[in-house]
Structure 1
Amino acid sequence: MAILRFNAIKESLNRKPVPVDESIRRSELFGKNVFNKEAMRQYLTSDSFDSIMDAIENGSKIDRDLADHISTGMKEWAISKGATHYTHWFQPLTGSTAEKHDAFFETTSDGRSIEKFGGGQLVQQEPDASSLPNGGIRNTFEARGYTAWDPTSPAFVWGTTLCIPTIFVAYTGEALDYKTPLLKSISALDKAATDVVKYFDKKESKVIATLGWEQEYFLVDTALAASRPDLMMSGRTLLGHAPAKGQQLDDHYFGSIPKRVLDFMRELEKECMLLGIPVKTRHNEVAPNQFELAPIFEEANLAVDHNSLIMDVMDKVAERHYFKVLFHEKPFKDVNGSGKHNNWSLATSSGSNLLSPGKTPMRNLRFLTFFVNTIKAVYENEELLRATIASASNDHRLGANEAPPAIISVFIGSQLTKVLDELEKVTDGKLSPQEKTDLKLNVVGKIPEILLDNTDRNRTSPFAFTGNKFELRAVGSTANCADPMTVLNAIVAKQLKEFKVEVDALVKDKKMKKDDAIFNVLREYIKASKSVRFEGDGYGEAWEKEAKRRGLSNYRTTPEALQAKISKKAIDLFTELNIMNEVEVKARFDIEIEDYSKHIQIEGRLLGDIARNHVIPTAIKYQNVLIKNVKGLKDIYGDQFKSMATEQLAIIERISTHIEKINAGINNMIEARKKANHTDDVTKRAHLYCDEVKPYFEDIRYHCDKLELLVDDEIWPLTKYRELLFTK
């Protein structure tokens, strides 16, 4: 293994940059491999084109006869792009994407061969619904499930395959993917938000949830990664001593991008342009070998698809540049982990951002309505929002090195806090003309000036307002954006429904004017949700105590956090909005809680294997070298050898101590794992893995890392942090 390590380093250092042709403008490449409006106009009949646009804009169904025309046009377009196969591209509950390729090729009864792709093949396919996670909805012998075309997300050609974005449902109708609940939450939010926005502009007919994600990731040379079994199998290093230099000099963040990395980024961005993914930003992140990319905002459904797609594209492009992409939230101890900040907002069909104030008091009152309702929604559902970011890998990141803590709070900045404090003083009832004038001119009217210069940022806040959007910073880098976005859409939709009921009641029953009613309801929401707003340092112990006093949850681990997903409150939320039924909600909980146990189980097995088969034998080998050295000194110097071998003897003893501790830790971990494995209840098993298995990881690692410092570097088998993080 030591030879493998040094060969990997040598191979990495000898890599030559892969040239990338950037002679074509990005704007000319954008969407070339997407079946977008331009392509549809060229390859579809006018009836077929109008049918798709009606489905995209109004959610209408596409006639099966027209589906045949659409599939023919789509096939001809795809073949012109070099496609030989097609697939229904979907997002099962594995956290990654799924696809099954079928060739356009078919034979006829008279032995001829043709390219065929009909409307039935476009609209629906039948993959196995039992072999993918289903939470017990499908038995092994009940394999039937369906993928159904989602026309709101355009088809695209990736490589030689036409990819058709679809939903994935069981034969009995339950959703088995991330997209189906997301689409339903978008629809629920559209209806609720449109009803409210009509208070301010009756012409508005649609509200769209928008998303701009920021994807953080690490790049490691493929040869170096291949020499680390833990990186290859779990996505993170289970052991490894911190290098002398990490990120403490702050010299990597926004620094000059290394040439080899820049070549990877260029090719990645070129592929993204062809696929219609509007990536715009690239830069070095805080940790060594950590980077980030971010796109322009898009409609939430398309943005989620693009994020899922880009993770696959990144893997494939990285291979061509001899990199392995690490999406794990914490691949290296003691340096920054990686997140996927979800920047969420609401836009009207006319293109107006509902979380962006305007030049008039009415526009700003509209802003405050959606701003305060969002805060209230987060306050009422902070436990559920915390559950959407829970995973075995994200547990390592939350609360460490600039990642937000596990306590969900909302940061809005001192100036907006003052605005809400003023609104909190609104008179209970009808406003006097003077009160209304003062409120609109001195409070509401000044909001644009406040946001222009005075909205700060807080990196320790999990949910922060950043000028014209809310940023959910706590989402993990491996996560599918659909889960947190589904919940955020749902809780805001429910909150807006309740808001409209209360405002309408005040207008009807109390004979209040609309503005008076809105101000009065907002005042109560501001008071009720005040405890979720926090402007300070989310890392301090003082905040933990204060959050507890305020009644906010602090679930440090995934098994604790996930329970909120199956609470009566959560089930009622999803069923009321027709996003998921109780069976679907509970199935997803079972999948996620079991996934947690499996991740810890895999890591425990890996750690035991590496410690016993790599670390301990190497330590013994070096210990034998020292013993031989001590014996040689004794042979030469007799009883005087002890004064000359003091350090060697001490190291020999320390090695034995560390080996003993490692073996004891592994034995105890195995017994704890057996206990967990023999527990049938998935929730209890997850808690056992969390509370009784996982604690051994750190102790075993500690002693392995101490051996790394003691053992001769020439024979140490595992590529070290200084090599993984600083080899370009």
Structure 2
Amino acid sequence: MSSHSTNPRRAVTNAILSRQPVESEHSAKQRSEGTSASMHDWWSENWAVNVFTHAEMKKRVPKSVYKEFQTCVRESRQLPPIVADVIANAMKDWAVERGATHFTHWFQPIHIATARKDDSFISFTGNEGKTILEFSGGELIRGEPDASSFPNGGIRSTYEARGYTTWDPNSPAFLVKNTNGLTLLIPTCFCSWTGEALDVKTPLLRSSESLSREAVRLLKIIGDHKVRSVHTTLGAEQEFFVIDRGFFLARPDLLFSGRSVIGAKPPKGQEMEDHYFATMPPRVMAYIQEVEQELWLMGIPTKTRHNEVAPGQHEMAPIFEDSNLAADHNMIMMEVLRDVATRHNLTCLLHEKPFAYVNGSGKHNNWSMATDYGVNLLEPSKSPRDNMPFHVFLAAVIRAVDAHADILRASIATPGNDFRLGANEAPPAIMSIYLGSEIDELVRELIAYDDKSEPSAAGGRGADGRPSLSKMVSELNIGGTVAPFKRDRTDRNRTSPFAFTGNKFEFRAVGSSQNVGATVTILNTIVADAIRSIATEIEKTAAEGIELPKAIRRVVRDNLRKHERIIFNGNGYSQEWVVEAEKRGLPNLRETVAALSQFESEKSIRLFESLRVFSASEIKSRKNVYFEHYCNTINIEAQCALNLINAHVIPSGVNYQTQLATSIKSVKELNPAAKLEEQTRRLGDVTLHVEGALLASKNLSEKLAERHKHHESPEQHAIFFRDVIKPCITEARVHSDKLEHLVPDEVWTLPKYSDMLFLK
């Protein structure tokens, strides 16, 4: 490849020079109308206009219908047909007024982002060929997509195709804009004909119900008779990379796997730390502003945007919401991020590690629990020593993470996350809890409790006369004319997978492409189990004649003593922690296959079945789906590696090899005495790695041909891909990346890291 004009890499690079930021239609409309209204007015007027909120429903249906709807939702009862019909008709009228022509049941199959099958509102009447718009309560409540091709892990056969989608009224319907209209999306659960969950939402709702049931029971035991329900809240920070779409289309590995399976380290990565929190490139800023506008229309409360550490990496974060709604909103956010990027000639990469040598992307899950009357159960309050509900629920979370560290690790086990966990941007695979100095001090006091030294319930002081911990939170005064300000309760520990951050826990290990609903399901379940056990222990201790406050403190103390090994406030990246964790007996499940093997243990089955989150068959099916996903992912990456090595790397290497050989031969013919040691050495290096790439390609191809022989079980198949195929991909990459450094730019046909990460 001797000409820049025929080199696809150069063609994309040249095209970027003419690209400009793209104005969103909302901004363009405001500008064309010459309105003087501020963007604040736009935000206020357009918030959630594409959402059929409960407030919108209340305006459009009779009071009796709305009251019945609220009662059925609160008590998890089926809507009467007449009520469903009225709501469906109101929903249809609202959607059609906004420009919708179709509706769909929107659901989240296992390990597939989202799915939908659109139907028109139009119905035909009689033989006259006339049409009417209608939408019944039956269509709202239940749909019947073909379920045979969605991953089910062996829970049903291919010929058993019937599946059902059923409306989740806890998550409001919303409109999605297409080029030529809008579609009404109705969030639903998805199950088989026999009732097994085939999606992410159903177990999430089950886990939320279980946690609420156990938490209400515990709160009533310790004296809260006001509470009716407890829900978990979630704020999911979303990290992602943005590259020019031309680069994306010129890289088959990114197109098919979301990850660059080859690519040499560029001269500069993130070591200068100049991208972190820096000003966004104009094209990227315009793109993210339009993403925010689209999310705002759909009632998604995005709050924060900024550059992340790696070049080309960014982050958006919403305000906290109910976990079920937050999970739906995060799936919508990922779809909007991808769709809007295309309009800006950009591509959003949500893979955990699309580029080697720089940070990968996570989805930090900020999780807490709150009562129906608005009390955050993980808020220490102004006097943490006296906040007994906080002590109890903190002990429950600590117990949960320690007792079920294995399945919590399994909940974030993906092939993409294997490249990310334990690196500089992500916590290690060892599950541990960071509390920070103040709460850690409180826990030490609770562990040291005995019946003879009662903490005072008044005045915010303990028996030793010390002030409450909140009084020890100092102000910071950095000097100059800057006013003093209050220090937070805790520092941040970026190396901890599960860190207390003031009034919530931040689960930092979740991967950027994951459905947060699956992770929150596990978290809700293990905490519900711990709450249930603690409630039973308090009841048993109190039944022995011990005063309730003492019984509560004893149970909290005993649980903290038993599970304090999970608390670690130090550097999670250090080798010393790996050694220490092993001494403590904490599991270190370094990669996905090992982690997923824990999912179907006897302990896990007892846990999930007892809390009615998963049946044994649903657990097994999910484990099989996860292993199948792992195998398919590695297989696609291997096929991409073969394609790139054979279609790009070797031809580029041979091209340059020929140029060098021809040049050396020509010079020798003209000047036999010429000293060409370095040129000959360069030719030798190129030849070495061309030959190495050829051999690696041959080896990878041969090993892939054996993959169908390893079907003893889904787990054994995954082990084959982990132990045999992944090392072959790595070997092929070594030779490719060496050649990328040796071959001239005009000969190398693939976009490089230096192009994709830095040219916008």
TM, length-normalised to structure 1: 0.97
Q: Deviations over 1:337-390 (max 9, x none)?
A: 000000000011111111002245686221121112101110000000000000
Match of 2:160, SS state, is coil
Match of 2:185, SS state, is strand
In structure 1, which of residues 41, 46, 68 is the aligned counterpart of residue 63 of structure 2? 46
Match of 1:565, SS state, is coil
Aligned to 2:184: 162
Aligned to 2:734: 702
Aligned to 1:137: 155
Q: Are positions 1:560 and 2:577 aligned together?
A: no
In structure 1, which of residues 69, 82, 86 is the aligned counterpart of residue 86 of structure 2? 69
Shift in CA distance, 622/584, structure 1 to aligned 2, threshold 3 Å: same
Match of 1:131, SS state, is coil
Aligned to 1:652: 683
Query: How far off is 1:136 after superposition?
Result: 1.2
Q: Are positions 1:120 and 2:151 aligned together?
A: no
Q: Deviations over 1:573-624 (max 9, x none)?
A: 1100011100001000000011101111111111011111210111111111
Deviates more, 1:617-626 or 1:296-305: 617-626
* Contact 2:365/2:506 (<8 A) preserved: yes
In structure 2, which of residues 228, 238, 241 is the aligned counterpart of residue 215 of structure 1? 238
Match of 2:738, SS state, is helix
Aligned to 1:634: 668
Taking the aligned partners of 1:278 and 1:434, their CA distance within structure 2 comes to 42
Match of 1:340, SS state, is coil
* Contact 1:43/1:76 (<8 A) preserved: no
Q: Are positions 1:492 and 2:527 aligned together?
A: yes
Shift in CA distance, 433/401, structure 1 to aligned 2, threshold 3 Å: closer
Shift in CA distance, 371/434, structure 1 to aligned 2, threshold 3 Å: closer
Taking the aligned partners of 1:577 and 1:54, their CA distance within structure 2 comes to 24
Counterpart mapping for 1:505-654 below 5 A: 505-509=540-544, 511-638=545-672, 640-641=673-674, 643=675, 645-654=676-685
RMSD value over aligned CA atoms?
Answer: 1.7
In structure 2, which of residues 250, 268, 275 is the aligned counterpart of residue 227 of structure 1? 250
Shift in CA distance, 526/630, structure 1 to aligned 2, threshold 3 Å: same
* Contact 1:460/1:538 (<8 A) preserved: yes
Counterpart mapping for 1:707-726 below 5 A: 707-726=739-758
Q: Deviations over 1:417-471 (max 9, x none)?
A: 22211111111xx445578786478679425755963411110110000000001
In structure 2, what residue type is equivalent to 1:308? M
Identity of aligned residues (%): 43
Aligned to 2:422: 399
Match of 1:696, SS state, is helix
In structure 1, what residue type is equivalent to 2:659? V
Taking the aligned partners of 1:362 and 1:670, their CA distance within structure 2 comes to 63
In structure 1, what residue type is equivalent to 2:193? Y
Deviates more, 1:92-101 or 1:35-44: 35-44
Match of 1:218, SS state, is strand
Taking the aligned partners of 2:94 and 2:467, their CA distance within structure 1 comes to 52
Taking the aligned partners of 1:266 and 1:361, their CA distance within structure 2 comes to 40
Shift in CA distance, 148/363, structure 1 to aligned 2, threshold 3 Å: farther
Shift in CA distance, 52/586, structure 1 to aligned 2, threshold 3 Å: same
Aligned to 1:29: 46
Counterpart mapping for 1:12-411 below 5 A: 12-20=16-24, 21-22=26-27, 23=39, 24-110=41-127, 111-159=129-177, 160-198=182-220, 199-359=222-382, 364-411=387-434
Match of 2:100, SS state, is coil
Match of 1:477, SS state, is coil
* Contact 2:353/2:359 (<8 A) preserved: yes
* Contact 1:431/1:516 (<8 A) preserved: no
* Contact 2:447/2:561 (<8 A) preserved: yes
In structure 1, what residue type is equivalent to 2:146? D
* Contact 1:214/1:294 (<8 A) preserved: yes
Query: How far off is 1:224 after superposition?
Result: 1.1
Taking the aligned partners of 1:633 and 1:121, their CA distance within structure 2 comes to 79
In structure 2, what residue type is equivalent to 1:100? K
In structure 2, what residue type is equivalent to 1:57? R
Q: Are positions 1:446 and 2:469 aligned together?
A: yes
* Contact 2:239/2:314 (<8 A) preserved: yes
Shift in CA distance, 464/360, structure 1 to aligned 2, threshold 3 Å: closer
* Contact 1:365/1:444 (<8 A) preserved: no
Taking the aligned partners of 1:671 and 1:355, their CA distance within structure 2 comes to 55
In structure 2, which of residues 680, 689, 692 is the aligned counterpart of residue 661 of structure 1? 692
Taking the aligned partners of 2:50 and 2:464, their CA distance within structure 1 comes to 51
* Contact 1:70/1:119 (<8 A) preserved: yes
In structure 1, what residue type is equivalent to 2:352? E
In structure 2, which of residues 484, 501, 513 is the aligned counterpart of residue 478 of structure 1? 513
Shift in CA distance, 450/380, structure 1 to aligned 2, threshold 3 Å: farther
Shift in CA distance, 696/434, structure 1 to aligned 2, threshold 3 Å: closer
Taking the aligned partners of 1:76 and 1:594, their CA distance within structure 2 comes to 43
In structure 1, what residue type is equivalent to 2:164? Y
* Contact 1:358/1:448 (<8 A) preserved: no
Match of 1:564, SS state, is coil
Taking the aligned partners of 2:294 and 2:489, their CA distance within structure 1 comes to 38
In structure 1, which of residues 9, 13, 26 is the aligned counterpart of residue 13 of structure 2? 9
* Contact 1:361/1:444 (<8 A) preserved: no
Q: Are positions 1:674 and 2:691 aligned together?
A: no
Query: How far off is 1:51 after superposition?
Result: 2.5
Aligned to 2:481: none
Q: Deviations over 1:466-505 (max 9, x none)?
A: 0000010000000000111001100111111110111111
Query: How far off is 1:139 after superposition?
Result: 1.2
* Contact 1:357/1:363 (<8 A) preserved: no
* Contact 1:200/1:366 (<8 A) preserved: no
Taking the aligned partners of 1:253 and 1:682, their CA distance within structure 2 comes to 41
Query: How far off is 1:7 after superposition?
Result: 1.1
Match of 1:148, SS state, is strand
Taking the aligned partners of 1:433 and 1:626, their CA distance within structure 2 comes to 84
Q: Deviations over 1:122-177 (max 9, x none)?
A: 11010111110111122111100000000000000111100000000000000000
* Contact 1:156/1:275 (<8 A) preserved: yes
Shift in CA distance, 444/548, structure 1 to aligned 2, threshold 3 Å: farther
Match of 2:117, SS state, is coil
Aligned to 2:31: none
* Contact 2:455/2:463 (<8 A) preserved: no
* Contact 2:383/2:470 (<8 A) preserved: no
Taking the aligned partners of 1:44 and 1:359, their CA distance within structure 2 comes to 44
Q: Are positions 1:455 and 2:498 aligned together?
A: no
In structure 1, what residue type is equivalent to 2:448? K
* Contact 2:175/2:185 (<8 A) preserved: yes
* Contact 1:355/1:469 (<8 A) preserved: yes
Deviates more, 1:717-726 or 1:22-31: 22-31
In structure 2, what residue type is equivalent to 1:554? N
Query: How far off is 1:53 after superposition?
Result: 2.0
Taking the aligned partners of 2:316 and 2:679, their CA distance within structure 1 comes to 50
Gaps of 5+ in 2: 28-38, 475-486
In structure 1, what residue type is equivalent to 2:152? N
